[in-house]
Structure 1
Amino acid sequence: MTGTTGDVGLDRLACLAGRSWVGSDLPGGLTNRNVRVTTTDGGPPLDLVVRCSQGDPGLLGIDRDAEHANTVAAAAAGVGAPVVEYRPDLGMLVISFLEGRTLEDADFADPGVLQRAADACRRLHAGPAFTGRFDMFERQASYRSTVREHGFRLPASYDDHAAAWDDVRRALAAAPRPGVPCNNDLLAANYVDDGENVRLIDYEYSGTNDACFELGNTSTECDFTPEQVEAWTVAYFGDPTPADLARVQVQALCSEYGWALWGFIQATASPVDFDFFGWGLERYEKAVARFRSPGLPRLLETVATSG
């Protein structure tokens, strides 16, 4: 047993018992430490990623059992990595390594990449049901309560948008859509592209949700232009209605305003050396721009009246 993984207890995993292996840390991962492990003996070869939990998942509303169940479901849908072992006692989830390249924001300018990514979302959404549900309005309220309870730093103007946030909630609730299995955290690095198919990773925040939240989340996390947002919506729906496009744009606002709080919580709570407050502030400022946009009332009307 060799490697550069440090003392994270990999030798206690059943899938590595009696095996020789090497391991190395993978880049990224703000709530997990991800270690790639490959066996080096003469047995059946294994190429794995071990996701090791860090910090306090309770502060962020992470359910590790649901993450495991939904990762299994995503693999059954042909979109996620197969699960090899789940060890909640060790805070570890072991999945197969997916060959391919994790995407970057700029990659979505390629129409082929955009279409493959949309196809992956559609396969996930049509796949086996997920455990649990994800509602950003509930999540935002929970995160805001956590910030208040712990006295975490928050932009002074954050609550100035509470009334507008409620308008968004009412518009979406006026014409609800059936929930589907969603990842809910599809930034570029959670798309893995092998040139023929895209697969999706990291199901910490997964649950049943509006498909348009998934699309809106990616569009804002990857800094899509208005033209890209439209192309992304077309790639997913084929022939989208005005309500489809409006709903994606409104759900992008939901992603920005809600996930900003995640960053503000992590800024104090996380052991990871990363500018979480700046991360949250970037999303908050995007949300403020949308709240102040003269086009928002029309988007909300389209969402509320067209479904």
Structure 2
Amino acid sequence: MGAEVKIWNPVEVAEQARHDYASQIHSSHLTIDPSLELPLMAPLVLKLCKDMFKAWSNLDDSRFVVEKISGGITNLLLKVSVKQENCIEETITVRLYGPNTEYIIDRQRELQATKYITAAGFGAKWLGIFGNGMVQSFINAQTLSPSDMREPKLASKIAKQLQRFHHVEIPGSKEPQLWNDVWKFFEKASVLEFDDSKMQKTYETISFKEVHDEIVELKGLCDLLKSPVIFAHNDLLSGNIMINYEEDKLYFIDYEYASYNYRGYDIGNHFAEYAGFECDYDLYPNMNEQYHFLRHYLKPERPQEVSEKDLETLYVEANTFSLASHVFWALWGLIQAKMSPIEFDYLGYFFLRYHEYKRQKEKYFLLARSYLSGCKNE
């Protein structure tokens, strides 16, 4: 890849966390191969749990049940249930990082964010960290599908929760990370070499000079919008949103990409995820659907009192920054195509996202420029 990878030590991170947290953060050096079939993986998970949680170290293996919750294209989630001597059952979630994801994910930044996000009451409680993953409390809820996010009632809940999330305070620099991350991805994505000759040939059809110029032009336009900087999730796809219908509770999970960023980007990226991994952009929300979401984001308790001006401003931000979302994830797809062993057409994903960027560019550039021109004339 030609890029330095910072090696992080999970135990050192856990020790640092103890200075920040009143509660103990458990740690282990053990790693688990996420590509293993569950019957082969389960004994390793039990060994990990006994190593991390001393109260479980002498329990018989028969007291543990390991189940696969979900497997995305970067993570594997496992549910571990443990019956104690007093017959009380405890449940935790073990999240295994995808192989080679350190090339695209800043794990130190993720763990810093996770500490404060969970302390603010979002998602699962962080319990510990190990060689290639983390352990969290179990959330009794189900993940959404892309079509679920379109439902007006759920859309309003997501909007309200996102507004709360954007008020989380994380110590340290509040510099927005979007363009820093885009350029890092660009540098890595533009110097790849594939062993597969067919993939290499497809890769060589990409004009990185064109991509470079598009990023420069897009950043220039986005900067003019002066979108507020907030603490953003940056990956609010359906698989990272969970709901418990009985308790009427909504959760945001997985903070791998969370950072300070532009309000418009976090919302625009969420809208782009209506299309799912299949990238069916006919599902991208129309103006009425977006306005419904934006009203509940801007004034959760009084959505009908949101001014047309505020709606227009955020609508322009979200749709312009949705273009940046396409570029970001397109470049991410190229790096994953090289680094990830997971069976997913990452190279094809690059073209789906980048072509959608080019397809929508004129429309949303015109929208943003028209808006900016109107602001000047006021």
TM-score interval w.r.t. the shorter chain? 0.7 to 0.9
Task: Tell me which of 265, 270, 274 is aligned to 2:340.
Answer: 270
Match of 2:189 in 1: 147
CA offset digits 1:22-67 (Å, max 9, x no partner): 112222232222211111233553211111223223321x122321
Separation (CA, whole Å) in 2 of partners of 1:102 and 1:137: 30
Partner SS for 2:71: coil
CA RMSD of aligned residues (A): 2.5
Name the CA shift for 1:145/1:164 in 2 (closer, same or farther; >3 Å). closer
- Please show how residues 37-56 of structure 1 align to structure 2 within 5 Å: 37-42=80-85, 45-56=89-100
CA offset digits 1:242-281 (Å, max 9, x no partner): 2211000011110111111111111121011222222232
Separation (CA, whole Å) in 1 of partners of 2:57 and 2:112: 24
1:237 aligned to 2:298?
Answer: yes
Partner SS for 2:96: strand
CA shift for structure 1 position 77: 2.4
Contact 1:76 1:128 in 2 (8 A): no
Which blocks of at least 5 consecutive residues in structure 2 are unaligned? 1-37, 195-202, 276-283, 300-305
Partner SS for 2:257: coil
- Please show how residues 170-181 of structure 1 align to structure 2 within 5 Å: 170-181=220-231
CA offset digits 1:53-91 (Å, max 9, x no partner): 23223321x12232122122222222221111123xx22
Name the CA shift for 1:55/1:124 in 2 (closer, same or farther; >3 Å). same
How much identity, in percent, do the aligned residues show?
Answer: 22
Separation (CA, whole Å) in 1 of partners of 2:97 and 2:69: 14
Task: Tell me which of 229, 242, 267 is aligned to 1:215.
Answer: 267
Task: Tell me which of 253, 258, 261 is aligned to 1:201.
Answer: 253
Task: Tell me which of 216, 239, 242 is aligned to 1:166.
Answer: 216
Contact 1:79 1:198 in 2 (8 A): no
Match of 1:125 in 2: 166
Name the amino acid aligned to 2:112: A
Which blocks of at least 5 consecutive residues in structure 1 are unaligned? none
Contact 1:256 1:286 in 2 (8 A): yes
CA offset digits 1:173-229 (Å, max 9, x no partner): 234344222110111110111232311011111111112211111100113322323
Name the CA shift for 1:159/1:187 in 2 (closer, same or farther; >3 Å). farther
Contact 1:256 1:287 in 2 (8 A): yes
Name the CA shift for 1:303/1:137 in 2 (closer, same or farther; >3 Å). farther
Higher-Rg structure is: 2
Match of 2:141 in 1: 100
Name the amino acid aligned to 2:108: D
Q: Which moved more, 1:157-166 or 1:178-187?
A: 157-166
Contact 2:225 2:317 in 1 (8 A): no
Match of 1:10 in 2: 48
Name the CA shift for 1:303/1:76 in 2 (closer, same or farther; >3 Å). farther
Contact 1:264 1:280 in 2 (8 A): yes
Contact 2:274 2:285 in 1 (8 A): no
Name the CA shift for 1:154/1:142 in 2 (closer, same or farther; >3 Å). farther
Contact 1:266 1:276 in 2 (8 A): yes
Separation (CA, whole Å) in 2 of partners of 1:149 and 1:264: 10
Contact 1:134 1:207 in 2 (8 A): yes
Normalising by structure 2, we get a TM-score of: 0.72
Name the CA shift for 1:148/1:110 in 2 (closer, same or farther; >3 Å). closer
Contact 1:131 1:207 in 2 (8 A): no
Q: Which moved more, 1:168-177 or 1:48-57?
A: 168-177
Match of 2:75 in 1: 32
Partner SS for 2:180: helix
Normalising by structure 1, we get a TM-score of: 0.88
Name the amino acid aligned to 1:45: E
Separation (CA, whole Å) in 2 of partners of 1:131 and 1:154: 40
Name the amino acid aligned to 2:111: H
Separation (CA, whole Å) in 2 of partners of 1:245 and 1:94: 37
Separation (CA, whole Å) in 1 of partners of 2:225 and 2:73: 35
Number of aligned residue pairs:
301
Name the CA shift for 1:304/1:211 in 2 (closer, same or farther; >3 Å). farther
Separation (CA, whole Å) in 2 of partners of 1:278 and 1:10: 36
Structure 1 stretches of 4+ moved >6 Å: none
